[in-house]
C-alpha cells in the first residue's frame, strides 16, 4: 500500500496538504500514533505517523515543529497524517517543515477517527500479503474458496455471491453499498438502509467498511460494510472483497458492449429527424423495445452544460436508485449525459412513473453531488412519450427543463415544474432573452444612467404591487403623483400601455430576462 492509495480511500476523506509524486508513491509498512515532540525512537521505517498535534502551540512553534518533522525524517516515516480536530487546521509552520524535510503531509478531518485510518492501512496490508506469490495461505476455508470460485465462473449474481461468501460465518449482517448509498446487495436477513442512511454509515466510521478494489468511479465505487465491528476476521473480509472485485470487473467488461448500444441510442434520439427503424433497432439493442412509455433525462454540469464522462457516471448511478426502471445512458451532443428510461404498463402508468423518476432523482441527486461537490450539477426530465419516434421531442423537453433546473433546490426539473413565468423563461436560450430584453426595455436602458435605473425600479415595484399607485408609492417612499409621472414616462418610452394585460406581461417578462 502506498501513500497515494490511502488518499484514495473515500470513506476516510483525507486531503493532501503537501507531497510530490515520489513521496506519494512510497510504500506504507505500518502506522504509529503519537503526540510526543520527539517520537523518533518509537518509529519504524516505512510507517505513517498519526498525530493530533497536541504537542504544537504558537509559542516556539517553528523550533518544535522542525524538531518533530526532522525526527520523522530520520526515522524513515513515509508520511505525517495530521489531525485537524485540536487546532481546526494544519498549521502553516508544519507545512513548511514537511516541505523542507520532504515528508508528505496529509490532513485528517475531525470526523475521521485515527482508528479508521489504522484499520484501513492494515486491512489493505493484509490483502497485499495474501496476494504475495510466496504466500499461498488463504484465510477462507478451502471448500468455501473453491465454492465461491465456481459460483463466480458460473455467473452468480452479486447477492448470491455475497450470501455464499458469508454463509460459513453465520451469515452476519453485511451491505454492499455504492458511494451514493445505493444498496447493490445485502446478506439475507440484513435490514435495508435508505440511501441517506447508507451514506451516513459510510462516512460515520461505525462498524467495518472496506473498499472493493475495482475500476469504479467516484459515484459507483463499491464498499463492503458490516455494522458489527470485529464480526469477521480482517483477512477473511479482505479475501471476500477481492472476490467481489473480480466479480465487479467481469460485470464492467460485459457492460462495455451495452455502453456501445447506449451510445447508438442516444445518437439516434438526438438526430435532427426521427428515423423509426433506427430508433426501434437501437432500443432493442439496449433491451428497451416495446415498452409502454419512455422518458428522457439530461444531466449537465454548469456553467458550460457539459459534464462529459462524469455526467454519464453520475446520471447512471442516480438512476440506479430506481430498480424498477430500465434505462440506457450515454454522452449526448453538447448536453453532458442523456438517459432514455423505459416504463412498463400502460401509458397512464408511464405518466406516474415519470413523476416517480423526477421525485426520486430529487431525493438522491444531493447524494450524487456530494461525491463530486465542485460545480453545479443539474438534471432535466421530460414528459413520458409512447412512441419511439417521439423520443427526440422528449429530448427537447428535457433540455428545456434542464435550463430551468438552477432555479430549483435540488436542481432537478421536469416540465411540470415550469409553472411560473420565470421558470418558463429559463428554458429560452440566453441570446433570445437578451434580444427580447433589449427590444422591450431598450428605451428605458438608454434613458440615462440615473433616470433609467429609477424608471426600471419603479416599473418592477409597480408590477409587483399589481399596478397599485398607492402601494407602489408607499414601497418607494415617494408621492403618488410621482408614481403617476414615472409610469407615464415608462409608457411613452416603451410604447406600452400598463392598463393592458398583454403589455404588462411583456414588460414583466423583459424584467425577468435581465
Cβ-contact 92, 100 below 8 angstroms: no
Per-residue pLDDT reduced to its tens digit, 356-369: 888 888 899 889 88
Domain annotation for the chain: domains and CATH numbers:
3-119 (3.40.1390.20), 138-249 (3.30.450), 270-421 (3.30.70.270), 430-512 (1.10.10.2840)
**How far does CA 327 lie from the centroid of its chain?**
19
Model confidence at 131, pLDDT cuts 50, 70, 90, reads very low
Pairing of strands 104-108, 326-331: unpaired
Taking only the tens place, the pLDDT of each residue in 197-217 is: 999 988 876 788 998 988 778
Residue 70 preceded by cis peptide, ω within 30: no
Element containing residue 423 per DSSP (H, E): helix 421-426
Continuous H helices in 320-416: 347-371, 391-404
CA 424 to chain CA mean position, Å? 27
Asked if pLDDT for residue 342 goes beyond 90, the answer is yes
Q: What is the DSSP string of 276-341?
A: HHHHHHHHHHTT--S-SEEEEEEEEEETTT--HHHHHHHHHHHHTT-TT-EEEEEE-SSSSEEEEE
Q: Cell numbers at residue 24, please?
A: 506519494
As a whole number of angstroms, the distance between CA 198 and CA 451 comes to 57
Other beta carbons less than 10 A from residue 233's beta carbon: 13
Q: What is the pLDDT of residue 129?
A: 47
Question: pLDDT, tens digit, for every residue of 459-510?
Answer: 989 988 899 999 999 999 999 999 999 999 999 988 999 999 988 888 888 8
pLDDT surpassing 50 at residue 134: no
* The dihedral sign for the CA sequence 69, 71, 77, 83: negative
Nearest to 381 by CA among 352, 321, 338, 422: 338
Which of 306, 295, 293 lies closest to 332, judged by CA? 306
pLDDT of 309 higher than 70 = no
In tens, the pLDDT along 8-59 reads: 887 888 999 999 888 988 888 888 889 888 888 888 888 999 999 999 988 8
Q: Can you name the residues that pair with 328 across neighbouring β-strands?
A: 340
Tell me what pLDDT residue 174 has: 94
Q: Is the pLDDT of residue 69 over 50?
A: yes
C-alpha cell, 298: 439530461
The string of pLDDT tens digits covering residues 258-303 is 889 999 999 999 998 889 999 999 999 999 998 989 999 998 876 5
pLDDT of res. 126: 57
Cβ–Cβ < 8 Å for 476, 465:
no
Q: What percent of the chain has pLDDT over 70?
A: 89
Q: Which residue in the block uniquely carries the three cell numbers 482508528?
A: 115
* 347 has a pLDDT exceeding 70: no
Pairing, β 222-226 against β 175-178: antiparallel
- Report the pLDDT value the prediction gives residue 375, as an integer from 0 to 100: 66
Kindly tell me the sign of the dihedral angle through the C-alpha atoms of 18, 21, 25, 26.
Answer: negative
User: Based on C-alpha coordinates, what's the Rg of the chain?
Assistant: 30
* Per-residue pLDDT, 30: 84
Please give the pLDDT value at position 95. 94
What is the model's pLDDT at position 130? 46
Q: What is the pLDDT of residues 162-180, one digit of tens each?
A: 999 998 888 899 999 999 9
Chain centroid offset of residue 47 CA? 33
Question: According to the model, what pLDDT value does residue 80 have?
Answer: 96
- pLDDT value at 132 more than 50: no
Amino acid at each position: 500500500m502506498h501513500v497515494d492509495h490511502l488518499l484514495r480511500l473515500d470513506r476516510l476523506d483525507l486531503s493532501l496538504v503537501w507531497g510530490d509524486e515520489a513521496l506519494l508513491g512510497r510504500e506504507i509498512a505500518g502506522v504509529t500514533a503519537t503526540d510526543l515532540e520527539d517520537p523518533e525512537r518509537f518509529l519504524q521505517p516505512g510507517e505513517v505517523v498519526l498525530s493530533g498535534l497536541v504537542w504544537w502551540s504558537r509559542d516556539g512553534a517553528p523550533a518544535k515543529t522542525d524538531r518533530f518533522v526532522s525526527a520523522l525524517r530520520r526515522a524513515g516515516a513515509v508520511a505525517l497524517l495530521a489531525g485537524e480536530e485540536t487546532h481546526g487546521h494544519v498549521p502553516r509552520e508544519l507545512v513548511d517543515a514537511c516541505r523542507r524535510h520532504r515528508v508528505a503531509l496529509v490532513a485528517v478531518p475531525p470526523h475521521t477517527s485515527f482508528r479508521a485510518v489504522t484499520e484501513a492501512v492494515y486491512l489493505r496490508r493484509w490483502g497485499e500479503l495474501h496476494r504475495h506469490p510466496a504466500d499461498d495461505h488463504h484465510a477462507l476455508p478451502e471448500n468455501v474458496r473453491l465454492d465461491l470460485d465456481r459460483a463466480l465462473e458460473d455467473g452468480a449474481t452479486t447477492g448470491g455471491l455475497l450470501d455464499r461468501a458469508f454463509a460459513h460465518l453465520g451469515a452476519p449482517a453485511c451491505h454492499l453499498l455504492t458511494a451514493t448509498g445505493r444498496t447493490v446487495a445485502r446478506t439475507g436477513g440484513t435490514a435495508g438502509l435508505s440511501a441517506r442512511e447508507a451514506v451516513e454509515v459510510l462516512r460515520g466510521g461505525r462498524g467495518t467498511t472496506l473498499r472493493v478494489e475495482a475500476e469504479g468511479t467516484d459515484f459507483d465505487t463499491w464498499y463492503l460494510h458490516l455494522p458489527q465491528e470485529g464480526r469477521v476476521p480482517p483477512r477473511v473480509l479482505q479475501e471476500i472483497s477481492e472476490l467481489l472485485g473480480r466479480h465487479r470487473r467481469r460485470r464492467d467488461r460485459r457492460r462495455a458492449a451495452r455502453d456501445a448500444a447506449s451510445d447508438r441510442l442516444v445518437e439516434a434520439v438526438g438526430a435532427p429527424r426521427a428515423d423509426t427503424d433506427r430508433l426501434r433497432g437501437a432500443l432493442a439493442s439496449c433491451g428497451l423495445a416495446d415498452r409502454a412509455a419512455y422518458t428522457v433525462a439530461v444531466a449537465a454540469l454548469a456553467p458550460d452544460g457539459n459534464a462529459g464522462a462524469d455526467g454519464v457516471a453520475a446520471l447512471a448511478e442516480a438512476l440506479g436508485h430506481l430498480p424498477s426502471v430500465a434505462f440506457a445512458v450515454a454522452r449526448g451532443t453538447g448536453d453532458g449525459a442523456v438517459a432514455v428510461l423505459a416504463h412498463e404498463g400502460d401509458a397512464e402508468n408511464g405518466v406516474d412513473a415519470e413523476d416517480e423518476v423526477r421525485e426520486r432523482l430529487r431525493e438522491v441527486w444531493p447524494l450524487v453531488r456530494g461525491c463530486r461537490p465542485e460545480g453545479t450539477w443539474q438534471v432535466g426530465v421530460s414528459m413520458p412519450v409512447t412512441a419511439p419516434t417521439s423520443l427526440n421531442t422528449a429530448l427537447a423537453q428535457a433540455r428545456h427543463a434542464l435550463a430551468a433546473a438552477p432555479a430549483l433546490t435540488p436542481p432537478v426539473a421536469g416540465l411540470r415544474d415550469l409553472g411560473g413565468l420565470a421558470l418558463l423563461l429559463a428554458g429560452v436560450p440566453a441570446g433570445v432573452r437578451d434580444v427580447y430584453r433589449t427590444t422591450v426595455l431598450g428605451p428605458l436602458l438608454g434613458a440615462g444612467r440615473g433616470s433609467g435605473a429609477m424608471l426600471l425600479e419603479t416599473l418592477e415595484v409597480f408590477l409587483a404591487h399589481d399596478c397599485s399607485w398607492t402601494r407602489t408609492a408607499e414601497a418607494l417612499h415617494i408621492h403618488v403623483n410621482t408614481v403617476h409621472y414615472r409610469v407615464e414616462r415608462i409608457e411613452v418610452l416603451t410604447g406600452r400601455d400598463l392598463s393592458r394585460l398583454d403589455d404588462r406581461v411583456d414588460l414583466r417578462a423583459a424584467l425577468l430576462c435581465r
